[in-house]
């Protein structure tokens, strides 16, 4: 595991964007596993800036997102598809037909989950998976549980996660109760993983994930078993190390 300790969110965003750029420059046909949440927003902004300067070309890239709220579609501003269009895809030359986010409006979630795993396999697997981390150690929407779930699946969101994400909604009642998430298998099968964490609210989760026992109660702790993980975290997120 390679750990980059950076000063703050700004430095974290530049470092993460550098790593993603390097991936795309070295392999223009990369399959990027992408994440939502506040943490990667600065990274996406930096990538857009470099794209506008002509330093990075997304034309042959495929993207596969981690998760989506159940019941929300591309037109809903809180959906992760909307977030990705708004924060990255609309501003770079990625081919939108090769950007994938689970379909939150599917009428057959079981089939949609299976199709998502088939899609990851058909793309040849994920070259670089970007991850944030929940305050309770979740990755994607893989919540703390008694056992890891390997495949893409529908998950009931914990109250902890719903209240952490309530800031994006008008009220707590509007926060979806379920989501579709890539499973731990899809994440762990990525060739390289880039985990980002910023701020004090992530300090305990980062400590538990990197130094605690490997347990599904701290989903991110399984990353200790991955052969190629890069962690970029700021001083506050690393304050318990
Ligand atoms: C959501 C997303 C995760 C993300 C987490 C942390 O639950 N499903 O992928 O890592 O939030 O979000 P933030 O970066 O806003 O702290």
The pTM (predicted TM-score) of the whole model is 0.97
What percent of the chain is modeled with pLDDT above 70? 100
Q: How confident is the model at residue 91 (pLDDT cuts 50, 70, 90)?
A: very high
Provide residues with CB under 6 Å of ligand 1.
35-39, 66-67, 132-134, 140-141, 161, 165
Rounded mean pLDDT of 9-20?
A: 98
What is the interface pTM, i.e. ipTM, of the complex? Answer: 0.96
Question: 40 in a domain, yes or no?
Answer: yes
pLDDT tens-digit map of 184-220: 999 999 999 999 999 999 999 999 999 999 999 999 9
Question: 241 in a domain, yes or no?
Answer: no
Q: 113: closest CA among 76, 88, 77, 149?
A: 149
Question: 239 in a domain, yes or no?
Answer: no
What percent of the chain is modeled with pLDDT above 90? 99
Catalytic residue (one of 65, 136, 142, 165) = 136
End-to-end CA distance of the chain: 15
Question: 142 in a domain, yes or no?
Answer: yes
Question: 175 in a domain, yes or no?
Answer: yes
Task: List Cβ neighbours of 188 (8 Å cut-off, separation of 6 or more).
Answer: 222, 223, 225, 226
Q: How far is the CA of 1 from the centre of ligand 1 (A)?
A: 21
- Residue 45 pLDDT: 98
Please say whether the dihedral angle defined by the alpha carbons of residues 200, 178, 171 and 64, taken in this order, is positive or negative.
positive
Structural domain total, the chain: 1
Pairing assessment for the beta strands 178-181 and 153-156 based on DSSP bridges:
antiparallel
Question: 126 in a domain, yes or no?
Answer: yes
Q: Assign residue 175 the CATH number of its domain.
A: 3.40.50.1360
Q: Which domain holds residue 30?
A: 2-234
- Residue 117 pLDDT: 98
Per DSSP, the three-state class of 232 is strand
State how far the Cα of 63 lies from the Cα of 30, in Å rounded to an integer: 8
């Amino acid at each position: 595991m390679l750990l980059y300790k950076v000063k703050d969110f700004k430095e974290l965003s530049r470092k993460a964007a550098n790593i993603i750029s390097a991936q795309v420059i070295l392999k223009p046909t990369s399959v990027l596993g992408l994440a939502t949440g506040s943490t990667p927003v600065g990274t996406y902004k930096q990538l857009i800036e470099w794209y506008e300067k002509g330093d990075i070309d997304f034309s042959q890239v495929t993207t596969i997102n981690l998760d989506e709220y159940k019941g929300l579609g591309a037109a809903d501003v809180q959906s992760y598809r909307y977030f990705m269009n708004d924060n990255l895809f609309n501003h770079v030359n990625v081919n939108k037909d090769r950007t994938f986010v689970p379909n939150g409006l599917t009428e057959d979630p079981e089939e949609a989950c299976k199709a998502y795993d088939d899609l990851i396999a058909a793309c040849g697997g994920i070259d670089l998976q970007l991850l944030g981390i929940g305050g309770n150690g979740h990755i994607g929407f893989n919540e703390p549980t008694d056992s890891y779930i390997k495949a893409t699946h529908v998950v009931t969101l914990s109250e902890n996660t719903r209240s952490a994400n309530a800031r994006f909604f008008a009220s707590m009642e509007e926060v979806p109760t379920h989501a579709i998430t890539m499973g731990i298998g899809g994440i762990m099968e990525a060739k390289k993983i880039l985990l980002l964490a910023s701020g004090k609210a992530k300090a305990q989760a980062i400590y538990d994930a990197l130094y605690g026992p490997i347990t599904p109660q701290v989903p991110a702790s399984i990353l200790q078993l991955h052969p190629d993980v890069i962690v970029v975290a700021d001083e506050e997120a690393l304050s318990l190390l």
